[in-house]
A and B are shown apart, each in its own frame.
Chain A
Amino acid sequence: MFACHGLYDLAVIVSTAFGDNPTNIFAPVGTPAHSVFGLSMLVLWITGAIFVLVAGILLYVLVRYRSRAADGVTEQEPPQIYGSNQIELAWTVIPILIVVMLFLATARVIYTTEHAPKPADALDVTVIGHQFWWEYSYPALGVVTANELHVPVSDPKHMLPTYLTMSSADTDHSFWVPRLAGKTDVIPNRVNTMWIDPQETGLYLGQCAQYCGVQHAKMLIRVYVDTPAAFDAWVAHQRQPAVEDSRVAEGRAVFEHNACISCHTIRGTVATGRFGPDLTHVASRDTIASGAVPNTAANIRSFVDNPENFKPGALMPPMHLDSHDLDAVTAYLTTLK
C-alpha cells in the first residue's frame, strides 16, 4: 500500500518542485502528456528504488571493507572468491523481471498514444516547419496562420482532440510543447502526425527541438487553447480578407513594390509568396519573428529594417528601406488585424 502512496507522492513532489514553469513536462494538461507523465512516474519510482538499493550497497561496501591497515603494510590478503553462479543468476533474473514489467507498461502507452482512434469531429491542422518559423493551416476551415496555433479546449466528457499533420519545407524540425505532448519530428519529404487534447484553456509554450540551422533557438511555439466560442470567433476573424484601410495605402504600396511579396502572402493583395509567414492578419498575433519579440510597432519596424536585430541568421534579408518607407510599411502592417 505504501508503495502506491509513494508513487502518488512522488508525482506531487515532482510536479510542484519546479514551481510555476511554462514548459514543465511534469505539469501535463492533455491526454498524451498525462499518459507520459504517469509512465514517467513509474519509471522514476523504479529507478529511484534501484538507485537507493545499489548506491546503499556501494556505500556499505566501501565503509565496511575499506583497508584498515596503513598504506598497504602488514595485512593478509582477503579470501579470493571467484564468483557465484547463484548470485549472478539472481541478479540477472531480477533485472529481467523488472524489464518485462517496464516493457509492458511502455508498450501500452506507445500504442494508446500512437494508435489512438481518431474521432470524426477531430480538428485537423497542417503544420509546416520552416527555417525558422511555423506555418499552421486549417484545411477544413480555410485558415492559414503562422507561429501562433489556436486550438479549441477539449472537454474530458466530449473529447475534441486536434490532429497535427506535420512536414517540413526545408530541414528537420521538431514540434514540442512539453505540457501538451511529447515531441514529434518534422521532417522534409515525410508526413508525421500527432494529436493533442488540452483540457484547460490558456497559452502553452514550446519550441523547435531539433537543430535546424543558425536560428534554431528562436523558433518558438505558442499554442493558444481557447473556449469553443472563442475559437470559433478566432476562425471567423481569420477567414476574412485583409483589412483595407486607405490611411495606410502608401505603406501598402511600399509593401507591394518591394521584395516582400515574393515571400509573404496578404490575401486580397498581389502578395502571394509562401516562403515566409502569411501576414493577412499579422497584427492579430501577440508576437512576431516566431515568438521572439512582442508584436509592437517599434519591433515590426526594427524587424523589417533588419531581421538580424532579433533573429541573427533569419532567412529574411534586410529590406534597405529608407526611414519614411519603413514607417509607412510599419503603419500598414499594424493595421492588419
Chain B
Amino acid sequence: MATQTPVTEVLDLTVEKAPQRRWLEVLHDWVTTVDHKKIGLMYIGYALFFLVVAGFEALLMRVQLAVPNNHFVSPQVFNRLFTMHGTTMVFFVGMPILFGFGNYLIPLMIGARDMAFPRLNAFSFWISAFGGLLLYFSYFGGSGLYGAGSAPDVGWFAYAPLTAQVFSPGHSTDYWTLSLLLTGIGTIGTSLNIVATAICMRCPGMKMSRLPLLVWLYLVTSCMVFVAVSPLTAAQIMLMLDRYLGSHFFDTQAGGSAVLWMHFFWIFGHPEVYILILPAFAFANEIIPVFSRKAIFGYPAMVAASVGIGFISLSVWAHHMFAVGMGPGANTFFVLATMAVSVPTGIKIFNWLATLWGGKIRFTVSMMFAVGFLFQFLIAGLTGIMLSVAPFDWQLTGSYFVVAHFHYVLVGAILFMLFSAFYYWYPKMSGRMLSETMGKWHFWLFLIGFHLTFDFMHVPGLLGMPRRIYTYEADRGWMIWNMVVSSGAIFQTIATLLFVYNMVWSYFKGEVAGADPWDAWTLEWSTTSPPATYNFAKIPSVASRRPLWDLKHPEDPDSHYETTEKPGGEERP
C-alpha cells in the first residue's frame, strides 16, 4: 500500500476540497472507497508506479546490451530483469492502467453513478494490487526467509519444463505463479464489472447502438478477458499443483507435455495483446473524432471490426509456436487465422483516416500522440503481417525482430495512446489542464527516443540476434545497432520523467479546465471537473451517440438524423 499512495496522492481530488484533514483520514477514504472514480485513479497511480519500476528494469537491460560481452549485470540478474520487466509491464502496468481508465470513464460515459458492483470493484483492485506487491516482494523476501528464492527468472511466458522444481528450485517461480493468480482474479472481477455496468447501468436513451465506442470496445475487451485470462488462471493452478503437490501436468519426465503449456499460455497470451490494444483503440475512437471535429467514420463498422478482432484473436494463439513443429496443417491454419485479423484491423485504421479526412484537425498534445499512435500502429501491423507468414516467422520468432514488433505495439501504439488519453482526460480527472508546452517536449522527446530504440531494434533480429540473451558475441555485427537502441532509451527516460513532472506541476499550477475543455461530445464532459462523487446530480437522458453535440447545436442535433421508430426496439445488449 505504501508504494502507491504517493502516486495516487498526486491525483487525489479530495485534498483540495478539505486541506485540513489529516493524512490518515485521507488514507482511510481511499482504502475504504467503493467509488469508481477513486478506484480508477488508484489503478492508474498503481500502474504508473510500476511503469516507472519496469521501465527502470528495461533501462538496466539496455545498459547491459549496449556493448558485447558486457559485465554490467550478471546473467542471473539479467534473466530476472527481463522476466520481471515483461510480467510487470503486461500484468501490473498494461492491464491496471487500462482498467483504471475504464473504471473512471465508463460510468461517466453512460450516465451512471457507479459501476454495477462497487464493492467487487474495490476488491478487484486490491487483489490485483497485492498481486503486484507479492511479485516484487520476491526481490526481498525469498532469500531472506528461506535462502533459496528470489525474483522469477523463467521469462514472462515461463515455458515448461523450465518452471519445474528440477530446473527452478526454491520459490522464485512460485512468486510468479501466485502473483499472477491473484491479479487474474482481480482482472476477471473488473471485467465482469465492466460488462455488467455497460449492459445494465446505461442511462435512459443510451441504447447499445448509441453507446460511445470506448464503452463498446471495453465491453469487447472484458468479454475477451473471460475466455483468455481464465485459461491462464487454469494453467497457473496446474503449475502450482505441479510445484506444490508433485503432479505431472508439465513434467516431461513423467510423460507430461511442454507443448501443452505453450498452448495454454498462448491461448491466454495472444488474446491478451488484443485485450491491451482494444482499450487503446477505444481512446483513439474518442479522441480522434473530437480533434478532427467530425463524427467517427463508420461507427457500426468500428463496432463490428472490434467484435471481429475479438473473435478471430481467439483462434490465432499458435502463431507464437510456428517453430514448435506443429506440422504443416496446423501451421497453415494459424497463418490464415492470423492474416485474417489484419482485415478488421485494417478497417479500423482506414476508418480513422476517413475520420480525419475532411475534418479540421486541432493538433493538441493529445492529438499529436494519437497521430503517433496511428503511424506506429500501422508499422506494427505490417511487421505483424510479416510474422504471420510462418516460414518468415521461423527466422524471426524468438529474435529481436519480434521484440521490436511487440514493443512497437505496446509502446508505439498502446503507450502513445495512453499518453494521449492522459492529456485528454487529465482535465476531467483533476480539474486542471496538463501543460501543453511541456507536453510538446514530452511528445517530441519520446517520439525520437521511441524511434531510435524500436526502429533499430528490428535490425539485430534480422541479423540473427535471439531475444533474452544477457550478452552477445562481438563478431556478429550487432553492436552498432544495440548502441543506437540503448541510446534511444535515454530520450524515453527523460521524456517520461518530464511527463510525471508535468502531471505533478499541472495538478497545482495548471490552467483550470472547466467542465468541457475540448469541446467534446460524450457525457463525461457534461459534469464538473473533477466530477462529484455522484457523477450526475440528475441522471441524464440521451437521444443520439453524441449527446453534447445535440446540446451545443440545438438547431441541428444528431438525434434528428439517428431516428428510430420504437423506443428500446433496437436493443441488442
Contact = CB atoms under 8 A, between A and B. Distances in A.
B568 interface: no
A72 interface: yes
Nearest to B436: A71
A43 B256 contact: no
A22 B463 CA distance: 8
B298 A83 contact: yes
Contact of A25 (B253, B356, B462): B462
B472 interface: yes
Given A62-B356, A65-B360, A96-B343, A23 B464 contact: yes
Contacts of A111: 328, 332
A18 B477 contact: yes
B187 to A, nearest CB: 25
Nearest to A67: B360
A92 B302 CA distance: 12
Interface string A85-97: 0011001100110
Contact of B323 (A65, A72, A174, A213): A174
A115 interface: yes
Residue among B331, B350, B393, B467 with most chain A CB within 10 A: B350
Interface stretch (B132-140, B382-390, B532-540): B382-390
Contacts of A66: 360-361, 363
A65 B359 contact: yes
Contacts of A95: 342-343, 346
B570 interface: no
B378 A54 contact: yes
A187 B259 contact: yes
Contacts of B358: 65, 78-79, 81
B379 A51 contact: yes
B332 A107 contact: yes
Contacts of A220: 473
Contact of B335 (A51, A106, A185): A106
B343 A26 contact: no
Interface in A109-123: 109-111, 113-115
Given A25-B395, A82-B299, A185 B382 contact: no
Nearest to B394: A182
Nearest to A89: B301
B476 A21 contact: yes
A206 B471 CA distance: 14
A207 B399 CA distance: 11
B391 A51 contact: no
A322 interface: no
Interface string B528-568: 00000000000000000000000001000010010000000
Contact of A75 (B360, B396, B558): B360
Interface in A164-211: 170-172, 174, 176, 178, 181-185, 187-190, 192-193, 205-211
A207 B298 contact: no
Given A95-B343, A185-B324, A208-B466, A35 B353 contact: no
**Could you say which interface size class chain B belongs to?**
35 or more
B378 A211 contact: no
A87 B354 contact: yes
Contact of B340 (A24, A51, A99): A99
A209 B399 contact: yes
Nearest to B387: A43
B470 interface: yes
Contacts of A193: 325
A209 B375 contact: no
Interface string B162-206: 100001000000000000000000000000000000000000000
Interface residues of A, number: 94
B318 to A, nearest CB: 12
A242 interface: no
B251 to A, nearest CB: 9
Contact of B390 (A46, A47, A83, A106): A106
Nearest to B562: A82
A245 interface: no
Contacts of B357: 61, 65
A217 B339 contact: no
A182 to B, nearest CB: 2
A43 B362 contact: no
A309 B119 CA distance: 56
Interface in A51-87: 51, 54-55, 57-58, 61-62, 65-69, 71-72, 75, 77-84, 87
A77 B556 CA distance: 12
Contacts of A170: 161, 167
A211 B385 CA distance: 24
A20 B389 CA distance: 26
B377 to A, nearest CB: 11
A178 B464 contact: yes
A146 B294 CA distance: 66
B155 interface: yes
A107 B335 contact: yes
A95 B384 CA distance: 14
Interface in A229-280: none
B295 A184 contact: no
A110 B390 contact: yes
A321 interface: no
Interface string B443-462: 00000000000000001001
A217 B356 contact: no
A71 B433 CA distance: 15
A217 B469 contact: yes
Contacts of B297: 81-84
A317 B121 CA distance: 52
Nearest to A33: B395
A103 B471 contact: no
B519 interface: yes
Nearest to B291: A67
B475 A212 contact: no
Interface in B122-138: none
B10 interface: no
B398 interface: yes
Contacts of B473: 220
A82 B295 contact: yes
A113 B395 CA distance: 13
Contacts of A172: 159-162, 258
Given A23-B464, A40-B386, A99 B354 contact: no
Interface stretch (B16-24, B49-57, B72-80): B72-80
Given A21-B463, A47-B386, A217-B472, A55 B395 contact: no
A92 B293 CA distance: 25
A51 B398 contact: no
A66 B162 CA distance: 54
Given A99-B342, A183-B394, A183-B395, A114 B327 contact: yes
B468 interface: yes
A211 B332 CA distance: 25
A103 B468 contact: no
A23 B394 CA distance: 14
B505 interface: no
A319 interface: no
B477 A20 contact: yes
Given A188-B258, A189-B256, A206-B464, 16 more contacts: A36-B395, A40-B392, A83-B299, A84-B297, A102-B389, A106-B389, A109-B391, A171-B161, A181-B394, A182-B323, A187-B259, A188-B253, A189-B255, A213-B167, A214-B153, A217-B472
18 contacts: A20-B477, A23-B463, A26-B462, A40-B389, A65-B357, A67-B362, A78-B358, A83-B298, A83-B300, A88-B347, A92-B346, A96-B343, A102-B385, A106-B390, A170-B167, A172-B162, A174-B398, A189-B255
Interface of B: 74-76, 79, 153-155, 159-162, 167, 252-253, 255-259, 292-295, 297-301, 323-325, 327-328, 331-332, 335-336, 339-340, 342-343, 346-347, 349-351, 353-354, 356-363, 371, 374-375, 378-379, 382-383, 385-386, 389-399, 459, 462-473, 475-477, 519, 553, 558, 561
The 10 A-B pairs at the shortest CB distance, nearest first, are namely: A182-B394, A23-B464, A217-B469, A83-B298, A192-B325, A189-B252, A188-B252, A178-B464, A47-B382, A209-B466
